[in-house]
Structure 1
Amino acid sequence: MRLATLLGNLVRYGAVALIVNAAPAMAEPFRLLALGDSLTAGYGVAAADSFPAQLERALRAQGHDVTVINAGVSGDTSAGGKARLDWSLGDRPNAAIVELGANDGLRGLDVGQMEANLDNIVGRLKGAGIKVLLTGMRAPPNYGADYAQSYAAVFPRVARRHQVAFYPFFLEGVARDPRFNQPDGLHPTALGVAEIVRRMLPEVTALLKPEEKK
């Protein structure tokens, strides 16, 4: 009787183990890297109101299982983003938003070097099989029209070169509007970040879609 009970238990628990082992693993959330400067990091706003946090909530509200990784560092230039890219890739992102260059423009740094940095970043992301959305920026007017034009032309050129998605101006609809900016006139408030997310959401949503096989 004891032997029969033991054999019955082995069969029963063995079957349970087989069922558990056969169950499919839960899919991990889509990992979206937000690589940028203070505009991404959330300078002057609560962490919950930063661009990555608000973007994640907006995407999840649409039904997307997404984790947006905040890889923004206040004060960072394109060179800084390039230097820490390997560290950011440690989060194994599926896609990336690259928002860099604002501080290059504020400091009047060499436009050619900024382009080389962005080119390196986007190229390395694509080489790792990571989809990219590159965002553009505009230089302040105090360095003259020639600098502003050369600066602005870098972003679409890099996007075309690598054939990645492009959002022309990260601060579209927010820049220079006191309703959306902190007293410094440079960094958006929580309301300003919400406006950025609202405007950029269609491009970001497209980034989550699997690429069509040719």
Structure 2
Amino acid sequence: MNQLDKKNTMDGRTHFAVQRRHCIAVALTLAISGACGVAVAQPKAAAKPAVSLKSGPVLVLGDSLSAEYGLTRGKGWVQLLQQRMDAEKIQRKVVNSSISGETTSGGRSRLASLLSQHQPAVVILELGGNDALRGLALQSTQSNLEAMVKASKDSGAQVLLVGMQVPPNYGATYTEQFAKMFETIASTQKLPLVPFLLAGFGDAPDAAQWFQSDRIHPNANAQPQMLDNVWPKLKPLLK
């Protein structure tokens, strides 16, 4: 091998050694940086907005008693609830998804979509009265209410169950069983219960003056009392 070939060989080896030492140095630097907690820039994932169910709205799922049937808009107990919460600086929105004539079956079919859309912190279930008016089986009504309770809880919401009573002309046995149904659900599901939404006037001797001409739907004067029946059970859930 002549002197030029030797020189080229040595230069190649030297260049290879330099490269190898450089690679080792880089690897050690990265390893030390990681071990010492030195941040190495990484691509940032797009931040997703956090949703806190605790600060979500109050969803009311009810029938005509909550849907302002026959009333001037804004006079129903649900709207009065929003006004009371605003007055007490409780910064939550009330979403009224009540529909006149709604049954527990109808509410059950709508609930999943409402939970997904509004992500409520509290669900107020005020259904069952129309089931009784239509003569539907109590077992079916109870099953639907229990399914709605479970779906609401699974979504992270607390549940307030609002009970109803039927007139005595339905028969003593049915009247008692209907009222007992709400108590049973509240007990087994560990829920706060408003036993009777119309308490204080619907069961009073002068009840007629608190109802519209159909003798079924409370008038505007009765709405504050309905709210007062709900409020003591609802307020603790809002904290």
Q: TM-score range by the shorter chain?
A: 0.7 to 0.9
Aligned to 2:85: 59
Aligned to 2:190: 163
Q: Aligned equivalents of 2:166 and 2:105: distance in 1? A: 17
Matched, 1:152 2:152: no
Q: Aligned equivalents of 2:233 and 2:56: distance in 1? A: 16
Post-superposition CA distance 1:85-119 (Å, at most 9, x none): 11221211110110000111122210011000001
More strand by share: 1
Structure 1 position 29, deviation (Å): 6.1
Matched, 1:116 2:143: yes
Unaligned 5+ segments in structure 1 are: 1-24, 210-214
Mean Cα deviation higher: 113-122 or 57-66: 57-66
Mean Cα deviation higher: 175-184 or 112-121: 175-184
2:55–2:121 CA contact under 8 A, matched in 1: no
The SS at the match of 1:171 is: coil
1:84 corresponds to which letter in structure 2?
R
Q: Aligned equivalents of 2:67 and 2:139: distance in 1? A: 25
* Superposition pairs of residues 124-203 of structure 1, within 5 angstroms: 124-175=151-202, 177-203=207-233
1:59–1:205 CA contact under 8 A, matched in 2: no
1:108–1:143 CA contact under 8 A, matched in 2: no
* Superposition pairs of residues 198-213 of structure 1, within 5 angstroms: 198-209=228-239
The SS at the match of 1:112 is: helix
Post-superposition CA distance 1:140-168 (Å, at most 9, x none): 22221111111111101111111111111
1:35–1:98 CA contact under 8 A, matched in 2: yes
1:105–1:140 CA contact under 8 A, matched in 2: no
Structure 1 position 47, deviation (Å): 2.0
Aligned to 1:4: none
Unaligned 5+ segments in structure 2 are: 1-49
Structure 1 position 179, deviation (Å): 3.0
Q: Aligned equivalents of 2:56 and 2:230: distance in 1? A: 18
Q: Aligned equivalents of 1:179 and 1:30: distance in 2? A: 37
Q: Aligned equivalents of 2:78 and 2:173: distance in 1? A: 33
The SS at the match of 1:192 is: helix
2:59–2:94 CA contact under 8 A, matched in 1: yes
1:105–1:138 CA contact under 8 A, matched in 2: no
Structure 1 position 30, deviation (Å): 4.2
The SS at the match of 2:161 is: strand
Structure 1 position 178, deviation (Å): 2.6
Q: Against the structure 1 CA distance between its residues 114 and 206, is the aligned structure 2 distance closer, same or farther, given a 3 Å change threshold?
A: same
1:186 corresponds to which letter in structure 2?
I
Aligned to 1:69: 95
